Amino acid sequence: MPLETWNSLAAESQSPVCGSVPGNFSGDPMRSYSLPLIGLLLLTACGSSDESVGNAAENTNNSTDAGSTNTGPVVEVCEADETQSCLGEAGCVGSQTCVDNLSAYSACDCGSDSSGSIAGTSQDANCDMNGYWAVRKLSLPQDTAIGSTQPASAWYYFRIEQNGADFTILDSLDCGTEASGNATVVLTTQTLLGLMTKNNQRGRTGTFAANVDHCEFSIRRQYNRLGMAASVLPEQGSQTELAEGLEDRIEEAEDWDGSGYGGIAYNTSGIITGVRHAIQINWDSYFNDADFGHMPGLGADEFTLRMEYSIAEAVTGTECGRLGLSCQLLLGKAIVIPQADNAASFHLLGRTFEEATASDVLDPSSPLNTCYNIQDTFPHADSI
């Protein structure tokens, strides 16, 4: 989207809010990201949701030149004990801390469970998940307020190791989403930085095995949270159904993007203009579905799968570009349509770290750039 469009959206985001809380939008450069798994929002009234809820933000600084060595006066590039996300050895996802008199970050630490090269051996070379993957999910929820489907893409980075028929996700990044239709919902860069590594899917398991003329794929159900502590999640892999909403848990909200509101901020433009702050718990899983044409071929390095998902959420605050209807329509819930072609596409970036970085998608110097590259290389569309 052109920069002029982002600037226009930023200007509208600073308009009076629905209620008495002043706008907190920072005007940071934005990419086309929207609420993960939610598609567009089913929208109702503002009510009393214009209050700030939650704990202090876990702010992330995106300073560059992290590994530089100063030969002259010390230039402060970070704050004492500040941490940021990073990609370490062989593309693992880790963190680094501000060191050297605030002039640089430490080496990227991924932890012993994640560091090291991928060393798996699949049961069949024709059905092999070993490698580095970009994933685009497409959800097709119904927006009953506007009366149309609102396609929403969500992007991820997966580093996967497979032994036999069993594979494990070693690391992941949540690379944001983009919704289209009668309205668009986007995130600021600060919001993306706040959620990018909060739901690392490290340890998620599945199977990928040959079956005559195709590969059979299965994966453990994954629960994620937005703007809430990890302790709210059900046991990973369980079949726990979610509550219809999270209104009774708003006091547990965390401010992930430093907006002053609990949850994360969703900037909306189009028929509805404003900023919606919300918390969420969701889950997803992927599988073969011949009826929808999602059958990974033998030896394929790109394939699609059917997706199941569910969400529970609550709005913690709203800001309005203009008072009136837009303000009243920023509160609501998504309607999941199970019979729609909700799906996920997998794209192999490389079997080795060297192959993946040569693709110009995986940027070992920056998780944020990697996410931007994934979105740009596998762009949003209203079909998978």
Phi first, then psi: give them for residue 171, nearest 5 degrees: -160, 160
Give tens-digit pLDDT for 190-205. 999 999 999 999 999 9
Whole-number pLDDT of residue 177 = 83
pLDDT above 70 (res 36): no
Q: How far is Cα 59 from Cα 39, in angstroms, rounded to an integer?
A: 26
Structure tokens at 131: 């490698």
- Answer whether residue 235 shows pLDDT above 50: yes
pLDDT at residue 176, rounded to an integer: 92
pLDDT tens sequence across 241-253 = 999 899 999 999 9
User: Measuring CA to CA, which residue among 71, 138, 83, 77 is closest to residue 109?
Assistant: 83
Share of the chain above pLDDT 70, in %: 77
φ, ψ for residue 9, nearest 5 deg: -65, -40
Between 77 and 175, residue with greater pLDDT: 175
Q: Is residue 293 part of a domain?
A: yes
Instruction: Return the pLDDT at 140.
Output: 94
pLDDT of 60 higher than 60:
no
The pLDDT value given to residue 205: 98
Q: Which amino acid is at 367?
A: P
| C-alpha–C-alpha distance, residues 250 and 227, integer Å | 10
| Residue 224 within any structural domain of the chain | yes
Q: Quick check: is 107 in a domain?
A: no
Does any domain span residue 211? yes
Q: Is residue 290 part of a domain?
A: yes
Residue 180 has pLDDT above 90, yes or no: no
Is residue 87 one of the residues assigned to a domain?
A: no
Cβ–Cβ < 8 Å for 59, 84:
no
52-60: average pLDDT: 36
Q: What pLDDT sits at residue 146?
A: 62
With cut-offs at 50, 70 and 90, classify the pLDDT of residue 148. Answer: confident
Residues 6+ apart with CB under 8 A from 177: 33, 34, 35, 36, 37, 137, 152, 153, 154, 155
Distance, CA of 264 to CA of 119 (rounded, Å): 37
Give the pLDDT band of residue 4 (cuts 50, 70, 90): very low
Q: How far apart are CA 159 and CA 118, in angstroms?
A: 8
**Alpha helix (H) ranges present in 121-279?**
189-195
Residue 103 lies in a domain: no
* Enclosing domain of residue 14: 3-60+120-377
SS3 category, 165:
coil
Read off the pLDDT of each residue in 127-150 and give the average, rounded to a whole number: 87
pLDDT at residue 9, as a whole number: 37
CA dihedral in degrees (335, 222, 96, 358; nearest 10)? -90
Residue 14 forms part of a structural domain: yes
pLDDT at 31 over 80: no
Assigned token pair, 265: 């901020």
Strands 214-219 and 302-320: unpaired
Quote the pLDDT of residue 322.
Answer: 60
| pLDDT, mean of residues 263-271 | 88
Total structural domains in the chain? 1
Q: What average pLDDT is seen over the chain?
A: 81
